[in-house]
């Protein structure tokens, strides 16, 4: 798992794909990663968030993740 500049493990990872492009982001905050994922999904990207346990969330599940 990736860490941040302070060496902490980041709990949530977002992957966004569209055409031949792929971007990956990692954050400690589920609220920040969900907000970013919603924006990218609204712009036509295929977005998946993975939590620290390896469970994957797609756009229909983002509200469930933010309420956790």
DSSP letter assigned to residue 46: E
Of the two residues 9 and 33, the one the predictor is more confident about is: 33
Residues 8/48, Cβ–Cβ less than 8 Å? no
pLDDT (tens digit per residue) in 22-66 = 999 998 889 999 999 999 999 999 999 999 899 999 999 998 887
Task: Give the pTM.
Answer: 0.81
Maximum alpha-carbon separation in the chain: 34
């Amino acid at each position: 798992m990736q860490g941040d500049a302070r060496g902490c493990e980041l709990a949530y990872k977002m992957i966004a794909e569209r055409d031949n492009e792929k971007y990956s982001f990692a954050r400690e905050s589920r609220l920040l990663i969900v907000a970013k994922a919603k924006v990218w999904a609204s712009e036509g990207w295929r977005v998946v968030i993975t939590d620290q346990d390896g469970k994957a969330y797609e756009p229909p599940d983002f509200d469930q993740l933010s309420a956790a």
